[in-house]
A and B are shown apart, each in its own frame.
Chain A
Amino acid sequence: MRTQNATAYRFLAPYLLIFSIFWVWPIISSFLISFQATRTVPWRFAPTFNWGRLIGDPAFFNALENTLLILVIQVPVMISLAIVMAVLLNSPLLKARGLYRFAFFAPVVVGEVAYSAVFRLMFNLDFGIVNKLLNSVGLPKIDWFSNVTPAMAVIMIAVTWRWAGYNAIILLAGLQSIPDDVYEAATLDRVSKVKQFFYITLPLLKPVIVFCAVLSIIGTMQLFTEPFLITERGGPGGGTETLGLLLYRQGFRSLNFGYASAIAYTMAGLAIAITLVQLWLTRDPK
């Protein structure tokens, strides 16, 4: 077959142009910026200026620790919940399927600012509906935003609420691509539903689960809006500050682009490392 270089690149040109200007060059550029002292004009090359600061900066390790903590707890909880939602929504026994789908999928369309505002109000100490409901069943109210642990919990609850349904949509599509006759054969062989879930559904769904996990990890790694708006700039006292928020603070409040770029590349390194581990853990045993 003759090649169609000219035609193909004519169709690709606008896309590749945008890609080069707004992605390829920035990827290179932020790497270079991370080796420069950017708070003096003109910027000067100083290879250890930002990276040296990074490895001795308690604020960085605080943000790293918070981010990893959210990652380790929130992502597995959310993915498990999304699997449960997808499997149950796929059940032939379910009535009024559309209503349940709406309930779980609706958060997908809700913007970060809108839902952050709602969660902030719902978890208000004296007037939040959550504490009022706790009180009404005889439980003490919780000061959600003055202590680190409950503040973290609110962030994780909010993110889980927003994204579980999104993952469930992807997982549900994965489930529906598993052929029915696999289950029919198992049912004929009197394999229980629970066993079918663990020995058929989960293994066949594994690539989709990995895909969801990777996307969720990369998303959570960059968590910004929720600690910015719900816990008010990572409060209390930096207790919910994430890498995304630290990057924002350094890059766009202190206008320290060099240091912010070093933080950004740390996030990229983490994302790539975690993705590789994930792919390796779930590789096809051959």
Chain B
Amino acid sequence: MSSLSQARLARSIALHLFLTPLALIWLFPLWMMVVFSTMPDNGIFSPGIELLPHGGFLDNFDNLQRGTNFVGAIGISVSVAVTYTFLSVLLTSMAGWALARYQFFGKGMVVAIILGTITLPYAVVLIPQFIMVARDFQLANTWVALIVPPLFNSLGVLFMRQAFSMMPHELFDAARVEGVKEWRIFLFVALPLARPMLAALAIILFLASWNNYLWPLLINSQPGAMTAPVALGTLIGLTKVSWGGIMAGAVMLTVPMLVVFVLLQRHFIAGIAAGAVK
């Protein structure tokens, strides 16, 4: 018995000896992001090794704000992400509800097409989307351009379909017998029951919008219409630029999401894991 627990102890020690350095390596870029964001540029570009934060975050932030209107860009990013998340959750759960609870003509085909788009690279739709939004609709550099085209998602719909189809149908039949309309059943019976799944979906969609780069880069390229990642991206690669400022911007984009991640870890993980578990 004691040899068994000794073996367990040895295995436990080996596990931690392997995993701890790996975890530290994984945290290192995030830690350095924070460290860099607090160092003056001549500190970042000096020969010594600095691994602890200094006190220069606000100076770096000033430098950043001088290079680009980052606060304004954050404002656009937040408003777009909130609007996008609300609309996308609504659209996605309505579609998921229909696929989960009704028998209708063409249902199998709709599901097959949604599944098919998972393996289709976004690159295939990128150019026509751009031509359509920028040239045909004349919507470049607007919020609509940032919010509407990305509204389609496939994994989210499958996730919500799964969520709704697991609910016992007696819940809804009772309401139907009393003559409650379908949209009221959806809004006031089904959606409240799906709250944890909706939270998971909303977090993932918010994050996707917040971090989205390629589409906003293409469609909202005017300085006053840029999202925060795009505004920050324009600074990277300039020859005379404050790297401390760029890092301050990176921290402002990242740390709020890390806080949300820590607070809502369960929903976060559920949202990401949803893709895989049937």
Give the interface of A toward B (CB within 8 A): 1-5, 7-12, 14-16, 18-19, 21-23, 25-27, 29-30, 33, 85, 88, 91, 93-95, 99-122, 126-127, 129, 132-133, 136, 161, 165-166, 169-174, 177, 193, 208, 211-212, 214-215, 218, 221-222, 224-225, 229, 232-233, 243-244, 247-248, 251-252, 257, 260-261, 263-265, 267-268, 271-272, 275
- Chain B residue contacts of A271, Cβ below 8 A: 119-121
Shortest 5 CB-CB contacts between residues of A and residues of B: A173-B273, A26-B128, A111-B211, A103-B23, A114-B250
Taking the closest CB of chain A, its distance from the CB of B257, in whole angstroms, is 4
- Chain B: interface residue count, which band? 35 or more
From residue B22, how far is it (CB to closest CB) to chain A in Å? 8
Contact B120 A268 (CB under 8 A): yes
Q: Please name 27 pairs of A and B residues whose Cβ atoms are closer than 8 Å in the assembled complex, sorted by A.
A: A3-B105, A4-B103, A8-B107, A12-B98, A14-B94, A15-B92, A18-B152, A26-B125, A26-B127, A26-B132, A27-B124, A30-B124, A85-B22, A93-B15, A102-B262, A109-B257, A109-B261, A110-B254, A114-B254, A117-B250, A118-B250, A121-B36, A127-B44, A174-B276, A211-B276, A215-B275, A251-B130
Cβ–Cβ < 8 Å partners of B15 in chain A: 88, 91, 93-94
Q: Are B27 and A103 in contact (CB under 8 A)?
A: yes
Tell me which residues across on chain B come within 8 A of A169, comparing CB atoms: 269, 272-273
Considering the complex, give the chain B residue whose CB is closest to the CB of A219: B121
Over the window 193-226 of chain B, the binary record of Cβ atoms lying under 8 Å from chain A Cβ atoms (1 yes, 0 no) is 0000000000000010011011000100000000
**B112: shortest Cβ distance to chain A, in Å?**
13
Cβ distance B111 to chain A, nearest Cβ, rounded Å: 11
Secondary structure of the A contact surface, majority rule? helix
Instruction: Out of B213, B236, B269, name the residue touching A117 (CB < 8 Å).
Output: B236
Q: Indicate if B82 sits at the interface (CB-CB under 8 A).
A: no
If A18-B148, A33-B127, A260-B127 touch, whether A105 touches B261 (CB-CB below 8 Å) is yes
B188 within 8 A of A: no
Q: Which residues of B contact A243 (CB under 8 A)?
A: 123
Beta-carbon contact of B121 and A218 below 8 Å: yes
Asked if A111 contacts B125 (CB within 8 A), the reply is: no
B191 within 8 A of partner (CB): no
User: What separation, in Å, do the CA atoms of A260 and B130 have in the docked complex?
Assistant: 12
What distance in Å separates the Cβ of B99 from its nearest Cβ neighbour in chain A?
8
Q: Which residues of A contact B246 (CB under 8 A)?
A: 117
Main secondary structure of the interface of B (DSSP, over half): helix
Cβ A218 vs Cβ B95 within 8 A = no
A residues less than 8 Å from B6 (CB atoms): none
Most buried by B among A114, A116, A265: A114
Contacts of A3 in B (CB 8 A): 103-105
Are A113 and B250 within 8 A (Cβ)? yes
Within the complex, which residue of A132, A165, A222 is in contact with B123, where a contact is CB–CB below 8 Å? A222
B26 with A8: CB separation less than 8 A? no
Task: Tell me whether A173 and B32 are in contact in the complex, defined as CB-CB below 8 angstroms, given that A7-B182, A88-B19, A260-B127 are known contacts.
Answer: no
A66 to chain B, nearest CB (A): 16
A247 proximity list for chain B (CB < 8 A): 123, 126
Contacts of A11 on B, CB cut-off 8 Å? 94-95, 97-98, 102, 182-183, 186
What residues on B are CB-neighbors of A118 within 8 Å? 29-30, 32-33, 36, 247, 250
CB-defined contacts of A248 to chain B, threshold 8 Å: 214
- Shortest Cβ distance from A148 into chain B, in angstroms? 19
Neighbouring B residues of A33 by C-beta, 8 Å:
127-128
Q: Is B253 an interface residue (CB 8 A)?
A: yes
Inter-chain contact A14/B91, CB cutoff 8 Å: yes
Q: How far is the CA of A172 from the CA of B123 in the complex (A)?
A: 30
Which A residues lie within 8 Å of B254 (CB)? 109-111, 114
A7 to B36, CA, bound (A): 56
Contact of A22 with B210 in the complex, beta carbons under 8 Å: no
Residue of B nearest to A161 (CB): B29
State A112–B80 Cα separation when bound (angstroms).
18
Q: Could you say which residues of chain B place their CB within 8 Å of the CB of A108?
A: 261, 268, 272
A249 to chain B, nearest CB (A): 12
Separation of A251 and B126 alpha carbons in the complex (Å): 10
B122 touches A29 (CB 8 A): no
Q: Are A15 and B152 in contact (CB under 8 A)?
A: yes
Q: Which residues of A contact B29 (CB under 8 A)?
A: 107, 115, 118-119, 122, 161
Q: With A104-B26, A109-B254, A161-B29 in contact, do A264 and B127 touch (Cβ < 8 Å)?
A: yes
Residues of A near B250 (CB, < 8 A) are: 113-115, 117-118
Which one of B151, B186, B230, B237 lies within 8 Å of A18 (CB-CB)? B151
Q: In the complex, which residues of chain B have a beta carbon less than 8 angstroms from the beta carbon of A110?
A: 30, 211, 254, 257
Chain A: CB-nearest residue to B229: A113
Q: Which of B119, B131, B152 contacts A257 (CB 8 A)?
A: B131
Interfacial chain B residues near A117, Cβ < 8 Å: 232, 236, 243, 246-247, 250
Residues of A near B174 (CB, < 8 A) are none
Beyond A114-B229, A114-B250, A114-B253, list 9 extra A-B contacts (CB 8 Å).
A25-B128, A93-B11, A104-B26, A113-B213, A113-B232, A127-B45, A173-B273, A174-B277, A211-B276
